[in-house]
């Protein structure tokens, strides 16, 4: 299951990257093609007599090639190097890789144009150093890469679909949506903080959430916020229920921490354990703030989920779900379910039925 989700996530990023770079390649050709009409020096150039459609295969080839390399580099850095290298080193090494690949792609493109139009284009070894068009292409690719990065960061922060709605101002007025929330909290956080000290404890939490981030996208989750040693995750109702994402993520996180047990022991002398509460329902979403704009969720679902998570210690459970969410899930035999409990949550008059879930 983990491999399948990883593959699907990688495929999604690759398709996203290829589409972006095909569009970006198409735009620079369109701008350059129509710009020739204003340049007298190109009036009798063979390039001027080539129709825009004849550039299509070059655009697609360039966009697909750069998109595949871009996605591969991003996934590689995200998985292996993003946590080890500084931001500056990552940016520098990526820039070198993209520059080398851009030189390679444009060299092939110039060779193809030479053969297709029977003209002589400078493409000897080192041709790119004196080529003004090449450095314009480098600048264009750099700006395009920044735009793509910012879009990806915004999508990661707000979630797929939500970012587009924010662009169109959908959440300027509060909107009602049905979502699932998970409050994920570190067990025995007070004693761990006392034994590690504030610096080591901060590094401990940082490592935990870094590992959490490694699997969030695979389970279609959105991180709403971090509060100390607690992370609040959210799903639109359909994505949370699909393939039991709201349960699978918790156990995938446990499995990942188990695989890194020796690393945690060597660095911190202990292995983290987490507890989680899951609940869902309708609530309001609104765009708040001007200087620091973000989405805020308002409704009883948030408070109820927090209180469900708070029951984990007293019920000796790691994962508690409200019956509301449990009844909507199509649960496989991978999970072991304890008998449900009807509990009275602090500050609430109505009693709530919850279930404790374990992985077999």
Whole-number pLDDT of residue 186: 95
The neighbouring-strand residues paired with 294 are 288
- For residues 269-295, one letter each, b for 16 or more C-beta atoms within 10 angstroms of the residue's C-beta and e for the rest, the string is eeebebbbbbbbbebebebeeeeeeeb
CA 154 to chain CA mean position, Å:
9
Tokens 């959430």 sit at which residue? 209
What CA–CA distance (Å, rounded) separates 285 from 325?
Answer: 20
Whole-number pLDDT of residue 58: 76
Instruction: Determine whether 125 is exposed, middle or buried from the number of CB atoms within 10 Å of its CB (0-12, 13-18, 19+).
Output: exposed
Give the DSSP per-residue string, 220-234.
T-EEEEEETTEEEEE
Given a contact cutoff of 8 angstroms between Cβ atoms, the answer to whether 289 and 309 are in contact is no
For residue 4, give the DSSP letter. H
* Residues 6+ away with beta carbon under 8 Å from 223: 212, 213, 216, 231, 232, 233, 234
**Residue 182 Cα distances to 142, 188, 258, 310, angstroms:** 38, 19, 21, 12
DSSP, collapsed to helix, strand or coil, labels residue 320 as strand
- Strand 319-322 and strand 222-227: the pairing is unpaired
**Domains defined along the chain, listed by start:** 2-158 (no CATH), 162-359 (3.30.70.1230)
Given a contact cutoff of 8 angstroms between Cβ atoms, the answer to whether 271 and 149 are in contact is no
The dihedrals phi and psi of 26, each to the nearest 5 degrees, come to -65, -40
The dihedrals phi and psi of 122, each to the nearest 5 degrees, come to -65, 110
The neighbouring-strand residues paired with 285 are 175, 297
Whole-number pLDDT of residue 170: 82
Tens digits of pLDDT across the chain (360 residues): 445 667 777 788 888 889 988 888 888 777 766 655 554 444 444 454 555 566 677 778 888 888 898 888 888 887 777 667 776 787 778 888 888 888 888 777 777 766 666 656 666 667 777 777 778 778 888 888 888 877 777 776 676 667 777 777 788 888 899 999 999 999 999 999 999 998 999 999 999 998 998 888 889 898 888 988 999 999 999 999 998 999 999 999 999 999 999 999 999 999 999 999 999 999 999 888 776 677 889 999 998 999 899 989 888 899 999 989 998 988 767 788 876 666 666 666 667 888 899 887
What CA–CA distance (Å, rounded) separates 51 from 33?
Answer: 9
Whole-number pLDDT of residue 209: 93
Q: How many CA atoms lie within 13 A of 169 on its CB side?
A: 1
User: Any alpha helices (H) in 77-222, and if so which ranges?
Assistant: 87-117, 132-158, 162-167, 189-216
């Amino acid at each position: 299951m983990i491999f399948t989700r990883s593959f699907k996530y990688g495929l999604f990023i690759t398709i996203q990257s290829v589409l972006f770079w095909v569009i970006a390649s198409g735009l620079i050709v369109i701008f350059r093609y129509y710009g020739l009409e204003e340049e007298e020096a190109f009036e009798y150039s063979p390039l001027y007599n080539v129709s825009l459609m004849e550039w299509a295969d070059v655009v697609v080839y360039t966009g697909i090639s750069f998109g595949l390399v871009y996605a591969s580099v991003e996934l590689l850095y995200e998985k292996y190097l993003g946590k080890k290298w500084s931001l500056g080193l990552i940016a520098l090494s990526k820039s070198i890789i993209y520059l080398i690949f851009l030189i390679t792609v444009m060299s092939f493109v110039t060779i193809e144009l030479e053969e297709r139009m029977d003209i002589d284009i400078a493409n000897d070894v080192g041709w790119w150093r004196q080529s003004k068009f090449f450095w314009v292409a480098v600048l264009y690719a750099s700006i395009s890469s920044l735009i793509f990065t910012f879009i990806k960061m915004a999508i990661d922060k707000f979630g797929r679909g939500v970012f587009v709605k924010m662009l169109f101002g959908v959440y300027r007025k509060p909107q009602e949506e049905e979502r699932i929330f998970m409050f994920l909290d570190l067990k025995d956080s007070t004693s761990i903080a006392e034994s590690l000290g504030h610096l080591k404890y901060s590094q401990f939490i940082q490592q935990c959430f870094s590992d959490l981030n490694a699997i969030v996208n695979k389970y279609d989750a959105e991180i709403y916020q971090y509060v100390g040693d607690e992370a609040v995750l959210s799903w639109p109702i359909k994505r949370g229920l699909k393939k039991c994402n709201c349960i699978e993520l918790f156990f995938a996180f446990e499995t990942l921490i188990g695989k890194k047990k020796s690393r945690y022991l060597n660095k911190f002398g202990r292995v983290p354990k987490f507890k989680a509460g899951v609940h869902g329902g309708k609530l309001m979403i609104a765009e708040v703030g001007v200087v620091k704009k973000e989405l805020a969720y308002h409704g009883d679902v948030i408070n109820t989920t927090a209180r469900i998570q708070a029951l984990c210690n007293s019920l000796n459970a790691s994962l508690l779900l409200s019956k509301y969410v449990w009844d909507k899930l199509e649960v496989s035999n991978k999970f072991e379910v304890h008998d449900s409990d009807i509990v009275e949550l602090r500050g609430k008059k109505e009693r709530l039925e919850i279930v404790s879930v374990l992985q077999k």
